[in-house]
Amino acid sequence: MKSTVPHLQKGDTVGIVALSSLVEPEKLGEALSFLDDLGLHYIIGDTIQAKHAYLAGSDEMRLTDLHEMVRNPEIKAIFCVKGGYGSARIAEKIDYALFEEHPKIFWGFSDLTYLHCAINEYANLVTFHGPLLMSVERIDELSKRMFLQLFSPIEIQYTEEISPLTTIANGVARGQIIGGNLRRLVSSIGTKFEVRTEGRILLIEEIAESIPRIDSMLQQLKQARKLEQLAGIVIGSFTQTGADEAALLMLMKEYFGELGIPVVAGFKIGHETTNIAIPLGADAILDAQEKVLKILPGVH
Q: Could you report the per-residue pLDDT of 156-176, keeping only the tens digit for each?
A: 999 999 999 999 999 999 999
- CA dist 28 to 16, 25, 50, 61, 195, Å? 10, 5, 14, 20, 32
Number of C-alpha atoms within 13 angstroms, CB side, residue 219? Answer: 6
- Please indicate, yes or no, whether residues 204 and 146 belong to a single structural domain of this protein: no
Say whether both 132 and 174 belong to one domain. Answer: no
Rg (CA), the chain: 18
Q: Does residue 169 sit in the same domain as residue 291? A: yes
Average pLDDT estimate for 247-256? 98
Q: What is the mean pLDDT of residues 207-214?
A: 98
Instruction: Using the 3D structure, point to which of 111, 130, 150 is the last residue of a domain.
Output: 150
Is the pLDDT confidence value at 102 over 90?
Answer: yes
Q: Which residues are designated catalytic?
A: 110, 205, 271
Question: 138 and 230 in contact (C-beta within 8 Å)?
Answer: no
Q: How far, in Å, CA of 156 to CA of 159, rounded?
A: 10
Percent of the chain scored above 90 by pLDDT? 100
Mean per-residue pLDDT of the chain: 98
Residue span of the structural domain in which 186 resides: 156-295
User: By the 8 A CB rule, do 202 and 186 touch?
Assistant: no
Structural domain count, the chain: 2
**Mind listing the pLDDT tens digit for each residue in 49-81?**
999 999 999 999 999 999 999 999 999 999 999
* Backbone phi, psi, residue 156, to 5°: -90, 135
Rounded mean pLDDT, 73-98: 98
Looking at the DSSP assignment, which residues form a beta bridge with residue 202? 178, 233
Whole-number pLDDT of residue 199: 98
What percent of the chain clears pLDDT 70, i.e. is strictly above it? 100
Say if residues 200 and 230 touch (Cβ distance below 8 Å): yes
What is residue 1's predicted lDDT score, i.e. its pLDDT? 83
Residues 250 and 145 in one domain: no
State whether 180 and 116 are in the same domain.
Answer: no
* Span 24-42, pLDDT tens digits: 999 999 999 999 999 999 9
Q: Are residues 199 and 74 in the same domain?
A: no
Sheet with 172-181, side-by-side order of all strands: 156-158, 292-295, 283-287, 172-181, 201-207, 232-239, 263-265, 166-169
E-only strand ranges, the chain: 13-17, 41-44, 75-80, 105-108, 127-129, 156-158, 166-169, 172-181, 201-207, 232-239, 263-265, 278-280, 283-287, 292-295
Same-domain pairing of 169 and 136: no
CATH number of the domain bearing residue 178: 3.50.30.60
Please state the φ and ψ torsions of residue 181, each to the nearest 5 degrees: -70, 125
Does one domain contain both 112 and 135? yes
Q: How far apart are CA 285 and CA 188, in angstroms?
A: 25
pLDDT interval class at 117 (50, 70, 90)? very high
